[in-house]
Amino acid sequence: MTYTLLHHTGCSTSRKGLALLQENGIEPEVRKYMNAGEALSIDELKEIATKMGNASPREFLRDKDAKKFDIPPGMSDDDLFAAMVDNPKLIQRPIGIKDGKAVLGRPVEKLLDIT
C-alpha cells in the first residue's frame, strides 16, 4: 500500500521526515496540504485522527500556531477540525499515513513506525 506523507516544504522537520523516508527506501506520495489544491477536508482530518487511534484533532495540533489563531483550550473537536481546514498552519507535520494507520513524525523517526 502507498505511504502518504502530509508535508509542508517550509517546515524543516517535515523536510527531515521526507529525507528519512527516502534514505530508508520509501518514496512516499507527498501531499503538500498547505497548497490550496491539496488542502485537507474535515472528513480527511477526522480519518487521520481515527488512524492515529484517537478521534481528537489535538493529537496533531500545532500548539504555537493555536495561540496565534486564538484557539481556546476547550474548543470542541468539530470546531477544531473546522479551524484546521480554514488555517492549515494549525496542523502539526509531518504526518505519515499507510495501511489504515497514521503517525505524527515528531520526532521524525516515528514515521518509520508504519512502514
Which pLDDT value is given to residue 106? Answer: 95
Helix (H) / strand (E) containing 101: strand 101-104
Amino acid at 27: E
Is the model's pLDDT at 48 over the cut of 90? yes
Average pLDDT score over residue span 47-53: 95
- What's the average model confidence in pLDDT over 12-37? 97
Residue 40 DSSP class: P
Q: Count the neighbouring beta carbons within 10 Å of the beta carbon of residue 33.
A: 21
Whether 11 is a known active-site residue: answer: yes
Neighbours of 100 (CB within 10 A): 10
Is the pLDDT at 55 greater than 80, yes or no?
Answer: no
The C-alpha cell of 52 is what? 492515529
pLDDT mean over 91-100: 96
The structure's pTM equals 0.94
The pLDDT mean for the chain works out to: 95
Is residue 115 scored above 90 in pLDDT? no
According to the model, what pLDDT value does residue 105 have? 96
Q: Poorest-confidence range of 25-34, 55-64, 79-88?
A: 55-64
Answer whether residue 54 shows pLDDT above 90: no
Active-site residue, selected from the candidate residues 3, 11, 82, 106: 11
Question: What architecture is domain 4-114?
Answer: 3-Layer(aba) Sandwich (3.40)
- Mean local confidence (pLDDT), 89-106: 96
